[in-house]
Structure 1
Amino acid sequence: MSKENEFIHKDFEFEDLVKKAKRRSMIKMVFISLFISVIVLTGLYFIGDTVMKIKMEKETSLDSTWSGIMGANIEERGTIYNYSLTSATAKTKLVKIVGGVPIPWGEQEKVFTILGTSQLISNNGPSGLGYSDDERIPLYYEGERVVEFFHPQVNYKQIFDDRKLLNVIDDNKVVEMAFSFDDGYSIEEVNEVFKKQLAWYWVDTFSKDDIENDNKFNKDKNFRDDTIYGFEVYGFPYNRSAEAYSASNFISVLEKVKEDGGNYHGDAEKIINNITNQGKIKLEPENLKIIGIVVTGKPSDLKKYNDNSMIRGATLGATTDQY
């Protein structure tokens, strides 16, 4: 009887040893699994972080390139990057140069994540107050007027001429004004007349269908004229130190964006086709049609264009103190 009891006792000891071994094995497996998971997650994080930075560098560069030809007299003034554990934000400051004075023109903010996504964060856009039956509701942004343009081949119910406002603006101010032409002119023809106050050229990037659609819309008496706002147009700045460079850079941007793809690929291709009449003429500075400009200066500087026959319409933009 004692021997039987001794055998049963030894069996319990063995089972206890097995349980302890299993427990140690389980703890070991959990530790190894956690260790491997940490390594994998860390690796995935660094891969995602690297991909995010590459994407951010490429997209912000492309955004900056495109913004150089879009938006009337708007310039970038540096980008600030802010990083968090799983994302990064690129914030770009914009300005207008009016008579040599920089005027803040909002910011563009874009968020990138380690998942490879990016999203443009919309800032407050331009706005205006008025009634549906008002002849005109000017838009304001950052407390300043937004310039409007009129295409020479589009018929409008009314074309605005804000040059009369130059008589009531103090000459200690500097003013931005958009001139829309009655036709397309060469860069040389525009420079000959407006060179001293010239800030930016508006290039004709419209197709025949675009013009036809605008004419149809403006015939409808139930709607206000579909003018073209400054943030919608394409062109390039006037460069006093290298006049030929600006037009060539405009063309280079279009060709580069068309080749590199990205979000602007389709727009670049369409603009090139419109300028070249579907490839019938070469894409070169001599074939660019300038259908409007932005000029800046004191009111007295801009009054000299009051009787210019090239100007079909004129709209006031940003104004600020000269000093």
Structure 2
Amino acid sequence: MNKENDFFPKDFEFEKLVKKARKRSIIKMVLISLGISLIVLFGLYFIGDTVMKTKMEKETDSDSTWNKIMGANIENRGTEYNYSLTSATAKTTFVKVVGGVPIPWGEQEKVFNMLGSSHPISNDGPSGFGYSDDERIPLYYEGERVVEFFHPQVNYKQIFDDRVLLNEIHENTVVEMAFSFDDGYSIEEVNKVFKEQLSWYWVDTYSENDIESDNQHNADENFRDDPIYGFEAFGFSYNRSAEDYSATNFISILKQMKEEGGNYQGDAEKIINNITNQGKIKLEPQNLKIIGVVVTGKPSDLIKFSDESMIRGATLGATTDLY
């Protein structure tokens, strides 16, 4: 007798159709899943790329704006962007203009990723070399001297006057020099004296606590005096074609940084409070106290300030050949 299955003979054609349909179904599901995955991946990539670019644009704009008021006689000459698959790099170039001659003043690089974070990857700072018992250890950056300032209300063991060096510098050289004042002066008072060689104003942005802290530090015989280096000073450039604009722009930047938030909000708010004495006076150009300047020119142009009574200290900065 035949087996039970012999009563139901197999339909091989039908089985082939079923297998074929099953195979097509699997392939279709795989293709759909792959398509959905690619759409999701591309969507996530697009979102991440958009977040990265938005973050980069906002942060570099903020950095660029802040750099307009921080750093003595340092100018931002633009930012270059380089993109990779999952990140981007922003490289900003700086210069000093000394007697009309631009001097390279380093670069700052930041890398941004698709997670919306950023960090600096190169930001070389100034350095100095010497011994602990040396009277003075100047800082250098890009092979040039970094200017130093002395606050009028801070006591120092020694305040340097580099104006004596002007007689030793060749007349075909252009020089940057920082003058620290004995008091706070108005913009108009400063312009009357330094206008012809003026390049940058140093604004008094310090609180009573800042001054007290510096005085305590300088009073300690175990420590060197703590001058204010050019890269940490706040102020604004002198604009020959629009003298009133620079001070107004300085104030506008502080207000903008305070309102926008971000990395500089706290510093902007502190500076505004210090300038206005915690809101007791208005944040206006006429209320800015100028406690120093950066002047540039040939040695003979700067020697005329040798006997200027408002100058408390003078430090040499960058120098370069005129031709």
Range with greater deviation from structure 2 (132-141 or 207-216): 132-141
Aligned-residue offset at 1:28? 2.7
Paired position in structure 2 for 1:220: 220
Range with greater deviation from structure 2 (270-279 or 129-138): 129-138
Paired position in structure 1 for 2:188: 188
What secondary structure is seen at the aligned counterpart in 2 of 1:10? coil
Amino acid at match of 1:254: L
Partners of 1:72 and 1:9 lie apart in 2 by 97
Paired position in structure 2 for 1:104: 104
Aligned-residue offset at 1:29? 2.1
Paired position in structure 1 for 2:304: 304
Partners of 1:217 and 1:3 lie apart in 2 by 106
Aligned-residue offset at 1:227? 0.8
Partners of 1:108 and 1:302 lie apart in 2 by 32
Partners of 1:7 and 1:205 lie apart in 2 by 102
Paired position in structure 1 for 2:121: 121
Paired position in structure 1 for 2:177: 177
Q: Does 1:142 align with 2:147?
A: no
Paired position in structure 1 for 2:167: 167
| Cα shift readout 1:99-148 (whole Å, capped 9, x = no counterpart) | 00000001111211222112222322101111122121111000000000
Paired position in structure 2 for 1:285: 285
Aligned-residue offset at 1:44? 1.1
Partners of 2:12 and 2:128 lie apart in 1 by 87
Aligned-residue offset at 1:30? 2.2
Q: CA RMSD in A?
A: 1.7
Paired position in structure 2 for 1:47: 47
What secondary structure is seen at the aligned counterpart in 1 of 2:166? helix
| Structure 1: runs of 5 or more not aligned | none
Paired position in structure 2 for 1:30: 30
Question: Does the aligned pair in 2 maintain the 1:93–1:108 contact within 8 Å?
Answer: yes
Paired position in structure 2 for 1:80: 80
Paired position in structure 1 for 2:264: 264
Amino acid at match of 1:47: I
Question: Does the aligned pair in 2 maintain the 1:135–1:224 contact within 8 Å?
Answer: no
| 169 and 21 in structure 1: CA distance in 2 versus 1, 3 angstrom threshold | same
Paired position in structure 2 for 1:233: 233
What secondary structure is seen at the aligned counterpart in 2 of 1:52? helix
Partners of 2:39 and 2:5 lie apart in 1 by 51
What secondary structure is seen at the aligned counterpart in 2 of 1:312? strand
| Cα shift readout 1:210-265 (whole Å, capped 9, x = no counterpart) | 00000000011111111110000100000111111000000000011111111000
Range with greater deviation from structure 2 (67-76 or 28-37): 28-37
TM value normalised by structure 1 = 0.95
| Structure 2: runs of 5 or more not aligned | none
Aligned-residue offset at 1:31? 2.0
Partners of 1:21 and 1:123 lie apart in 2 by 63
| 211 and 60 in structure 1: CA distance in 2 versus 1, 3 angstrom threshold | same
Partners of 1:89 and 1:243 lie apart in 2 by 36
Amino acid at match of 2:47: I
Partners of 1:19 and 1:130 lie apart in 2 by 85
Aligned-residue offset at 1:24? 4.0
Q: Does 1:246 align with 2:246?
A: yes
Partners of 1:16 and 1:242 lie apart in 2 by 87
Amino acid at match of 2:85: L
Question: Does the aligned pair in 2 maintain the 1:81–1:90 contact within 8 Å?
Answer: yes
Partners of 2:258 and 2:48 lie apart in 1 by 28
Question: Does the aligned pair in 2 maintain the 1:174–1:296 contact within 8 Å?
Answer: yes
Aligned-residue offset at 1:83? 1.2
Question: Does the aligned pair in 2 maintain the 1:203–1:234 contact within 8 Å?
Answer: yes
Partners of 2:5 and 2:186 lie apart in 1 by 113
Partners of 2:16 and 2:132 lie apart in 1 by 87
Question: Does the aligned pair in 2 maintain the 1:72–1:294 contact within 8 Å?
Answer: yes
Aligned-residue offset at 1:179? 0.3
| Cα shift readout 1:130-167 (whole Å, capped 9, x = no counterpart) | 11221211110000000000000000111111111111
Paired position in structure 1 for 2:89: 89
| 12 and 314 in structure 1: CA distance in 2 versus 1, 3 angstrom threshold | same
TM value normalised by structure 2 = 0.95
Range with greater deviation from structure 2 (9-18 or 221-230): 9-18
What secondary structure is seen at the aligned counterpart in 2 of 1:72? coil
Amino acid at match of 1:62: S
Range with greater deviation from structure 2 (203-212 or 85-94): 85-94
Q: Does 1:4 align with 2:4?
A: yes
Paired position in structure 2 for 1:209: 209
Range with greater deviation from structure 2 (164-173 or 47-56): 47-56
What secondary structure is seen at the aligned counterpart in 2 of 1:95? strand
Aligned-residue offset at 1:84? 1.2
